[in-house]
Every structure is written in C-alpha cells, then in structure tokens.
C-alpha cells in the first residue's frame, strides 16, 4: 500500500506599485498563476496556504500596491500509467528486455499533455511486468528515450536488475547506437565531430541550444556522410553523450538543420533555389513527412544476462524513404569526396 504524499509548489508575488486597487485576491492570483483556476485559488486561501504580508486573508481581500503574497498550492497527484492496447513493433523480446521500433509521433512515456497513448501505455498492455512498475513512476521499463517525432529502436527493461545494468551501459557509453538523418547542406568533411554544450535556450523555453562555455552540459556528436545530394546530405550519426535534442541542436547550430524539423528550422528550403517546381517539391515533402527526418537505426550492447553481444537494425520508415527517393531522383546525387 502506497501512502499518498502531498507536495506543494511555492510562489511569491509582489504587487507592482502602479497596480490599480480594487481587485479581489482570488481573481488577482488566478491571473498570475499558470494552469490554476480561481476555484483552486479559493480552496488554497481557505486552507491557509496563501498569505498577504504574512497574514491569512479572505478571497474577497482587495489587493493593494506593494502587497507581498506567498502562495503554496498542492500539486495535483500524478496520474498512473494505464495499459492500453495499441500496435507495437517488437523487434526482439525475452524474459529480461525487449527492443521496440518506435513510430514517429509516439511519446515514450506519459507526461503533461500526453497522459495516454504513449509507448509505456502500450508496453503495459503487452507485457506482464516492467522494471520499476511497483514504484511511483510513469516511466516503468524506460531506460532511454527518443523525441516524439523521432522514430527508431529503444531497449526496454522488464526487471530492475536489467534496468540497472542497461543504465550503467548508457552511463559508461557501452551502448552502440547509430542514427540516420537527412540534413540541409553538404558538410565539407566526409566525417567529423560536432561539439558544444547544450542547455535550455534562454530565448525559447521549449527549445534547447548550444550555450557558451561554462553553461549547459557537454555534448559530442560524430557524423559520417553516407550520400550527398544537391544542397542536402544523408548522414549516419553516433553520440558520445545523450543530451535532449542533441542531434537536432548540433546540426542546426552548424547550419545543417535536420530536414523537416519544425522546432529548429528544418522545415523550409535552406539551400538552393526556392521557386517553381523545386519549391513545390519540397513543400510536398514537408507536408507528407510532418516531422524531422531522424531515425534511430541500430542498437548494440552486451546482453545483461547471457553476456552475448547483440545488435539490432531497423529500416528507415516509409516517410523518410520517400524523401530519399525524391532526392535521388531530383536533386543530382553526387559521389562522396
């Protein structure tokens, strides 16, 4: 039996000196707090969780310039991940783990805005148990993640021992992973390494960015060009680190945006002419792709139980294959250097 522990989020507001008097406390706070209704504010006031200048006031209190308002709001309980029947592409499965080829558009685990329809919901329907399932978590079995619109291979742990070992593999870089991506531009070097610390973009809350030295976390990305086109390239990517959006951010920072990436600017014509039939061709590709052309293609590691080295490979999904076929037919493929 799990005893529910109520956690609070704390906020402090100082009413500006030019604020017009006459606004009720509950109404004022409802406009200042994100995702909080006036009713929730009133309940917090009645529960003594909101003070004005150190005193508990009523909801009808008229806010005045200079008031200091301290707020403690109970966080809503985190919903449980529930089993849901959905199609899953299981590449491999045994008693300890399974390998899933995740579809683009699928969120890995439940979170705000995506409480259902995630990979975890489908996994809970498919298997009897996952690692961490007996704990208060929305991420049972999940050892690593892929962005929602990135397709490809994921390893999932069925028990805690396997989860711990796989996590150590990722920590110690003992997992071999390669990605395929179509990028804008043609890198001067056939192979190379991109470095640059990655952290939250200070100007765009929902994006990541390469930050100055001393900020963010170290990130290292290796690439090899597999095929050159007129103003685009197919590349194979390996990661030394696993930062959020790492591949997309590193390539965008170097003016080689991942093709179709709406969040980082890869969904417009970046090189070459943007007129006539060429413009229409790319607009059609963007409309059909609806995501970044990035796929986690291979995954290799030592099996935690058998000790055998196992390697898994997945084909590019149809939407990315369509982009490649169009580029090969229309964008003057050229040989590697």
Q: Is the pLDDT of residue 337 over 60?
A: no
Q: What is the four-CA torsion angle of 284, 287, 290, 293, rounded to 10 degrees?
A: 10
What is the reported pLDDT for 278?
A: 95
pLDDT of residue 270: 96
Helix (H, G, I), strand (E, B) or coil at 313: strand
Q: Is there a contact between 145 and 86 (Cβ–Cβ < 8 Å)?
A: no
Give the tokens for residue 82: 């529930």
pLDDT band for 136, please (50, 70, 90 cuts): low
Residue 40 φ then ψ, to 5° = -65, -40
Would you give the DSSP letter of residue 325? H
C-alpha distances in Å from residue 121, one per residue of 45, 47, 133, 150, 230: 37, 36, 12, 18, 42
- 201 is written with which tokens? 């973009």
Write down the catalytic residue from 26, 67, 96, 147.
Answer: 147
pLDDT at 334 over 60: yes
- pLDDT in the model for residue 114: 77
| The length of the chain, given as a count of residues | 337
- Among this protein's residues, is 26 annotated catalytic? no
pLDDT band, residue 6 (cuts 50/70/90): low
What's residue 331's pLDDT? 87
* Domains and their CATH numbers in the chain: 8-74 (3.10.290.10), 90-171 (3.30.2350.10), 176-330 (3.30.2350.10)
pLDDT at 27 over 50: yes
pLDDT at 1 over 70: no
Query: What pLDDT, on a 0 to 100 scale, did the predictor assign at position 4?
Result: 47
Six-digit token string for 159: 């028990």
Q: Which of 148-157, 196-205, 244-253 has the lowest mean pLDDT?
A: 196-205
SS percent in the chain: helix, strand, coil, step 5? 20, 30, 50
Measured CA to CA, the distance from residue 233 to residue 181 in angstroms comes to 8
**Tens digit of each residue's pLDDT (9 = 90 or more) over 52-91:** 999 999 999 999 999 999 998 877 666 788 899 999 999 9
pLDDT of residue 335: 64
With 50 as the cut, is the pLDDT of residue 3 above it? no
CA of residue 306 relative to chain centroid, distance: 32
Q: Give DSSP secondary structure letters for 239-271.
A: ESS--TTHHHHHHHHTT-PBTT-TTTT-SS--S
Res 36: pLDDT:
78
Q: Which residue has the higher pLDDT, 135 or 157?
A: 157
pLDDT at 101 > cutoff 70 = yes
292 DSSP 8-state letter: -
Q: Supply the pLDDT for residue 305.
A: 96
Q: Please determine, for residue 7, whether its predicted confidence score (pLDDT) is greater than 80.
A: no
pTM: 0.78
Q: How far is CA 138 from the centre of its chain?
A: 15
Quick one: DSSP state of residue 4?
P
* Statement: residue 44 has pLDDT above 80: yes
pLDDT in tens, 112-133: 777 889 999 999 999 988 998 8
């Amino acid at each position: 039996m799990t005893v529910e522990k109520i956690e609070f989020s704390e906020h402090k507001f100082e009413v500006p000196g030019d604020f017009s008097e006459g606004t009720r406390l509950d109404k004022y706070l409802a406009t200042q707090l994100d995702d909080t209704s006036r009713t929730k504010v009133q309940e917090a006031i009645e529960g003594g969780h909101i003070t004005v200048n150190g005193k508990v006031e009523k909801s009808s209190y008229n806010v005045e310039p200079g008031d200091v308002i301290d707020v403690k709001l109970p966080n809503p309980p985190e919903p449980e991940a529930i089993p849901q029947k959905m199609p899953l592409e299981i590449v491999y499965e045994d008693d300890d783990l399974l390998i899933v080829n995740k579809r683009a558009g699928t969120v890995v685990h439940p979170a705000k805005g995506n409480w259902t329809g995630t990979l975890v919901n489908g996994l809970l329907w498919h298997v009897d148990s996952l690692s961490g399932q007996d704990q208060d978590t929305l991420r049972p079995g999940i050892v690593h993640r892929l962005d929602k619109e990135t397709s490809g291979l994921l390893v999932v742990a069925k028990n805690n021992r396997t989860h711990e070992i796989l996590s150590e593999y990722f920590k110690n870089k003992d997992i071999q992973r390669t990605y395929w991506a179509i990028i804008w531009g043609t890198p001067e070097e056939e192979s190379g390494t991109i470095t640059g610390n990655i952290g939250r973009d200070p100007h765009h809350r929902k994006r990541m960015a390469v930050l100055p030295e001393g900020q963010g976390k170290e990130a290292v990305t290796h690439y090899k060009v597999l095929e050159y086109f007129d103003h685009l390239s197919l590349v194979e990517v390996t990661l030394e680190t696993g930062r959020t959006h790492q591949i997309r951010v590193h390539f965008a920072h170097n003016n080689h945006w991942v093709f179709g990436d709406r969040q980082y600017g890869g969904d417009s014509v970046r090189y070459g002419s943007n007129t006539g039939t060429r413009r229409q061709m790319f607009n059609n590709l963007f409309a059909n792709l609806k995501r970044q052309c990035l796929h986690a293609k291979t995954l290799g590691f030592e099996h935690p139980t058998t000790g055998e080295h196992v390697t898994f490979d997945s084909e590019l999904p149809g939407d990315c294959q369509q982009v490649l076929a169009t580029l090969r037919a229309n964008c003057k493929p050229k040989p590697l250097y």
